[in-house]
Amino acid sequence: MWRVLEGVHADTKSGDPKSLKEYMWRVLEGVHADTKSGDPKSLKEYMWRVLEGVHADTKSGDPKSLKEYMWRVLEGVHADTKSGDPKSLKEYMWRVLEGVHADTKSGDPKSLKEYMWRVLEGVHADTKSGDPKSLKEYMWRVLEGVHADTKSGDPKSLKEYMWRVLEGVHADTKSGDPKSLKEYMWRVLEGVHADTKSGDPKSLKEYMWRVLEGVHADTKSGDPKSLKEYMWRVLEGVHADTKSGDPKSLKEYMWRVLEGVHADTKSGDPKSLKEYMWRVLEGVHADTKSGDPKSLKEYMWRVLEGVHADTKSGDPKSLKEYMWRVLEGVHADTKSGDPKSLKEYMWRVLEGVHADTKSGDPKSLKEYMWRVLEGVHADTKSGDPKSLKEYMWRVLEGVHADTKSGDPKSLKEYMWRVLEGVHADTKSGDPKSLKEYMWRVLEGVHADTKSGDPKSLKEYMWRVLEGVHADTKSGDPKSLKEYMWRVLEGVHADTKSGDPKSLKEYMWRVLEGVHADTKSGDPKSLKEYMWRVLEGVHADTKSGDPKSLKEYMWRVLEGVHADTKSGDPKSLKEYMWRVLEGVHADTKSGDPKSLKEYMWRVLEGVHADTKSGDPKSLKEYMWRVLEGVHADTKSGDPKSLKQYMRTRSPGTRSP
């Protein structure tokens, strides 16, 4: 399973479907691998492993029950499967990413089991029949978690929209022929509509903006018309003015991107993007008590923008230019301001491949795309991909296995700040130049800006997603196990000691957007915290020599440290299934204590009214999180998405 996200096609040589293990880690690889055999065997086994990161009883080999596995995937919720208590996070979490109004008709959630493994699986449950029926129906469930119009199949539904979200594949929209999951899945994140056969990338432009756009948009006319209209659909899941085609103001669109909050839909007064944006990842307006956001505005729109932009003048000029940098991570022509060709920019977004930037020859998108998540520069020096296997399991693992050395000189201290929200200058507090900080957001690689000697990206990258500061004090990474389950868990782990020095304050800020001063109410410096969230500031602001963003960016998703030689993953299995599982590892003791309280904050962006227990409007917050859909697209009455999200949390809070 740690191959699931590894993107290791490894057996490309043998092509032996031997085990699903080899199959699944191809899912996200963009490698359908068995192109030779083409035996999808059983979508059932494939899909629920995709994002589950479930090694599934690797010990016994007994997958026991997908139920218990899946709702742990992103929930990190041991939940109340035993008690079945609705108060549980159960109802909360499976709504988080599901965006599932569930059985709004019957109101009978039936079983979270069926719901959750649909969340990321995109599997509407033909596990019994094994009949993949049509991937079309499967995929748009991936992030939707919405079995929704499966019955009516009404194209008006979000169906067509959502399954494009991560698919970026309009796929067989024309023929509707699911052909083979093989071709579909490697398109999921690839954004590759399969010209691997012809090798004719035709126009990477058309390919890439489908990647995150999930918008086949003008696939019919082929007229990209305006990337503007495309991009704000990327995470919004909002076709918005598809009817009128009037993008009106990208401003209003974009702040909905991650917010999923149309906010003043009632008054229509966007008032200030400031208030909107700092809710993006925070989900927390933080200073709810004092209401003094100070200037979160400038900070937050940098969070995902990675654009220091007009930090000097403070002139946001055009959010348009800002936002399309959001995922681009391209400071690009910041100097000249000449975006030249977004085309060239965007296909770098997920590609992380500067590739033929010099020649501009996309050569073969095939080779490009499987690098997207692979993050395989694969011996860019020798050109010898040697063994993608060793490379890929490092992609999201960020594990080069040099846990033995643990040299603090390494980026160790730097990178575990990537998700920690620690730029390390906490001591001096001198933000110096956000410019230098932000372009590191997705880079996460300062790569020895001082010496310019990337020395060993290995030490750098395996910290990227690990969020492993690895005992910077002792240098003893002790057990990555404990580290990794903190990555997405937002578990400060020191629940026992409660020591503020602990990762506690750091990690639960990562996705929580909680500046942690909930106790004192002192906004002190949410600013320092938040813009560190994705900044992954390593603090080498001194040199400031970005040298070559080219080299930096394609490392962003590559996470390739290249230590294919040593690579003793020891027991990656324990590591990885915690990565997305959100398993804080109390599986041994069985004492989940209260991961519940932790996890539903992770993506909830709990504004910390847990104390008052005032459900006031967490509900309003949450269904905005990933929904990005103001729902009443038909009536146009954003009045309340609540009608859609009926199954939203009952407002239950942890003490």
Q: Does residue 45 lie within any of the structural domains?
A: yes
The residue assigned the tokens 């104390």 is: 611
- Would you state the pLDDT for residue 516? 29
- Tell me, yes or no, whether 7 lies in a domain: yes
How confident is the model over 89-93, as a mean pLDDT? 36
Looking at residue 392, its pLDDT comes to: 31
Q: How many domains does the chain have?
A: 1
- What pLDDT is recorded for position 460? 33
Strand, coil or helix: 101: coil
The secondary structure of 444-478 as a DSSP string is ----STTT-----HHHHHHHHTT-----TTT----
Q: Answer whether residue 564 is part of any domain.
A: no
CA–CA dist 63, 60 (Å, integer): 8
For the stretch 251-272, pLDDT in tens is 333 333 323 322 222 223 333 3
Cα–chain center distance at 209:
17
Per-residue pLDDT at 136: 33
- What's the pLDDT band for 237 if we cut at 50, 70, 90? very low
**Whole-number pLDDT of residue 299:** 34
Tell me whether residue 137 is in a domain. yes
- Residue numbers of the domain that contains 46: 1-150
Mean pLDDT across 425-453? 29
Per-residue pLDDT at 361: 32
pLDDT score recorded for residue 242: 28
Mean pLDDT of the region 376-398 = 30
Mean of pLDDT values over 454-461: 32
297: pLDDT confidence band, cut at 50, 70 and 90? very low
Structure confidence at residue 277 (pLDDT): 34
pLDDT confidence of residue 359: 28
Q: Using 50, 70 and 90 to split pLDDT, how confident is the model at 90?
A: very low
Q: Write down the mean pLDDT value for the chain.
A: 31
Q: Would you state the pLDDT for residue 393? A: 31
Distance CA 100, CA 652 (A): 18
Q: What value does the mean pLDDT take over residues 328-332?
A: 31
Residue 2 resides in a domain: yes
Question: What would the DSSP string read from start to end of 150-218?
Answer: GTT--TTSHHHHHHHHTT---TTTTT-----HHHHHHHHTT---STTTT-----HHHHHHHHTT---GG
- pLDDT band at residue 530, thresholds of 50, 70 and 90? very low
- How much is the pLDDT for 558? 28
Residue 592 lies in a domain: no
pLDDT bracket for residue 586 (50, 70, 90)? very low
Q: Where residue 441 falls among pLDDT bands split at 50, 70, 90?
A: very low
| Predicted pLDDT at 225 | 32
Query: How far is it, in rounded angstroms, from Cα 303 to Cα 596?
Result: 27
Long-range contacts of 137-143, Cβ-Cβ distance < 8 Å, separation of 24 or more: 137/163, 138/43, 138/47, 138/163, 138/181, 139/163, 139/166, 139/167, 139/169, 139/171, 139/184, 139/188, 140/164, 140/165, 140/167, 142/166, 142/167, 142/188, 143/97, 143/99, 143/119, 143/237, 143/626
What is the per-residue pLDDT across 150-209, written as a single tens digit (0 to 9) for each? 223 333 333 333 333 323 322 322 223 333 333 333 333 233 222 222 233 333 333 333
Question: Has residue 49 been placed in a domain?
Answer: yes
Alpha carbons 626 and 98: distance in angstroms, whole number: 9
Q: Per the domain annotation, does 351 fall within a domain?
A: no
Confidence of residue 640 (pLDDT cuts 50, 70, 90): very low
What mean pLDDT comes out for the span 555-566? 26
Q: What is the pLDDT of residue 552?
A: 32
Q: In angstroms, what CA-CA distances link 472 with 34, 136, 409, 412?
A: 43, 47, 9, 7
